[in-house]
Structure 1
């Protein structure tokens, strides 16, 4: 298993160089690169076409320790950091955007959150009860509470040693396949964000929990995206994650980490688009020479490469700031914003280089384009990221 091959290194963030990854992370990167080529690329189009969850591939990733990348070893985790997780998601997304999304969201939004702030008995229960290839969800958004998290309306009412949850959570990734998750609800809507509380939930014995139909999406079609309907779902008080009213802070902290995951997914899609464009342009003959020789094609490739390299630096900077416990909100939002736009830009240019062939489904360019678009939307739309960056920059400059 990967966690045995690559031991956790506490000083990884301190040892990180902008030019070279530490040896154990280089090995991790190679492992995931090889897995993407061998296990994901050959089936990515089929998974997308059939909107089929990659169960076999997820099981193999779990065997490698990649479904609990940042979880402590005593809970069957690999004990690595956010920089490591970023590398994992980037390389897997290069092979299949959907698989990268599943691994990213489970690791960044559920497993890391439980490991980071869960009580000992909570971690023993949830990590111990479920196998490594189990999926956890993060149910925060609602139909009328996406970017405006404080407007959520799912209610939690105290009843003895239980909390009773009622409401509907929207856009829950991997909801169909999940065995457990964290549900955000408010104990008092009048308190706005101060009433939001996080609840850990076992799905297998949650009477009153219903998973809605899978959304028919433009991209990342091998992931399920469903509503969760909660009708008098009972949650033990011992399964409150953090404190009553502390859920908003937890959600915001975790969304910083999620944005690194989404940025890494976008980066992997962009890299796949660049590689596909170069591979096609090398073989395709036009005007008596390979497309790769045309200056217009070279310009597109150069622009793609520049944005990808710039994105990679932003993503790794954000991950390292998280690992150093530094204030990282600005870096995470910058990385997510720029990475999403880079993925769409690279996919667009890949399709343009391939021309008509890029528009057909037996070539990967159109899938890259569809998969890329979500990276500018979920985890906070690009406009929200710009607002966050502006607020952070203004605050920092005013504080000088």
Structure 2
């Protein structure tokens, strides 16, 4: 990080202190007691998100004039981290709602569209979804097959989206559709579709390894007619919009990863101090203490990358490289930290009676969702090799 890239101050603002304390307290009282029940039942706790709305956490980045909290990305990172330290599933859903659906409308909606949808999203009255991925076009989004054909004053949408967070429970979705030539970046548009629209339905719900309380389903469109007024921006801008939205989304997933890593690390530290073998706490053994040292160092490094990206985003500066770096590194750190946490817990770490096995399962998605680690390396390499 060079001085002219980021002016990020290491001082924690009063807003950040307040948010960290509030969210941490809420998570301990309302999330932690239910974590394993929601995980086992694959239950998406819709009512919890209504409570998030009352706290202003469903529109962290949304200006107050649209019903949001009007905070910046540093505060947003704090929100996601504090939730993910307790439950990655809830953190994932909160991040997807804020940065993808709500963030897309905030960034690219016109004034009428913002006033129509943002207050409901920011207050938690509505939950948002965002649809880019399809069954055969994961990282190859330009070859999507979901189409929108203009018929008078309406678009007729046909196709399906996969791996969609809140694909069933979401009240409104921003959907990327093909309005032009397949394979062309100018052939994709972004359209908002409300849940009660005829021809818009949920498909298969995925049975996942981790993040099981975060709903992931198909979204299916069968001659779904949507007003032309629901188009975000102009026709053909959708792919470029999506890439900009993902710049912010990568900060979200980096923050989610950081929260999971911190949760696993804190559990491991506490256990290492309490667990005794050979007449002493296992934290006194170098094999354990070195694991904790590595975890602590990598977590600090991940947070620095995230804070740099958040600062650049706040200042509306280019952030593609930095957000990709933060997402790539933090997600890999989450996997390593949770793996080592299980190892420190030993046999107990492999059971559902202790929290680290869930951190372990949840962490892996962070290296896949919103662009795999391999895609992040492509993005980073492209940026560093620019003339």
Scaled by the length of structure 1, the TM-score of the pair is 0.93
User: Within 5 Å, which residues of 2 pair with 1:195-214?
Assistant: 195-204=187-196, 206-214=197-205
C-alpha spacing 1:344/1:394, structure 2 compared with 1 (3 Å): same
Tell me the alpha carbon deviations over residues 170-227 of structure 1, each in whole angstroms, 9 at most, x when there is no partner.
Answer: 11001121000101101123462211000011112x1111201210000000011111
Question: Which residue number corresponds to residue 165 of structure 1?
Answer: 157
1:63 equivalent in structure 2 = 54
Which residue among 247, 252, 255 is the counterpart of 2:246?
255
Residue in structure 2 matching 1:148, options 118, 140, 150 = 140
Structure 2: distance between partners of 1:322 and 1:62: 24
- Structure 2 Cα separation of the partners of residues 141 and 176 of structure 1: 15
Measure, in 2, the Cα distance between the counterparts of 1:334 and 1:39. 33
Aligned to 1:354: 345
Instruction: Determine which of 35, 38, 42 is the counterpart of 1:51.
Output: 42
Q: Secondary structure at the match of 1:198?
A: strand
**Contact kept in structure 2, 1:72 and 1:115, CA below 8 Å:** no
> Is residue 137 from structure 1 mapped to residue 114 from structure 2 by the alignment?
no
1:112 Cα deviation (Å)? 1.7
Cα displacement string for residues 52-84 of structure 1 (whole angstroms, at most 9, x for unaligned residues): 112232222111100011111121111111222
User: Could you say which residue in structure 2 is the equivalent of 1:314?
Assistant: 305
The residue that corresponds to 1:10 in the other structure is none
The more displaced of 94-103 and 110-119 is 110-119
Tell me what 1:222 maps to: 213
Name the CA shift for 1:95/1:190 in 2 (closer, same or farther; >3 Å): closer
Corresponding pairs, count: 382
- Aligned alpha-carbon RMSD (Å): 1.5
Q: Which runs of 4 or more aligned residues in structure 1 lie more than 6 Å from their structure 2 counterparts after TM superposition?
A: none
Change (3 A) 1:128 1:148: same
Counterparts of 2:182 and 2:211 in 1: how far apart (Å)? Answer: 37
Instruction: Give 1:306 deviation, angstroms.
Output: 0.4
User: What residue in structure 2 maps to residue 178 of structure 1?
Assistant: 170
Query: Structure 2, unaligned stretches of length 5 or more?
Result: none
Task: Find 2:29's aligned residue among 38, 61, 64.
Answer: 38
The 1:39–1:363 alpha-carbon spacing in structure 2 relative to 1, beyond 3 Å, is: same
What are the ranges of 5 or more consecutive residues in structure 1 without an aligned counterpart? 1-12
Q: What does residue 335 of structure 2 align with?
A: 344
| 1:361 partner SS | coil
Partner Cα separation in structure 2 for residue 161 and residue 222 of structure 1: 39
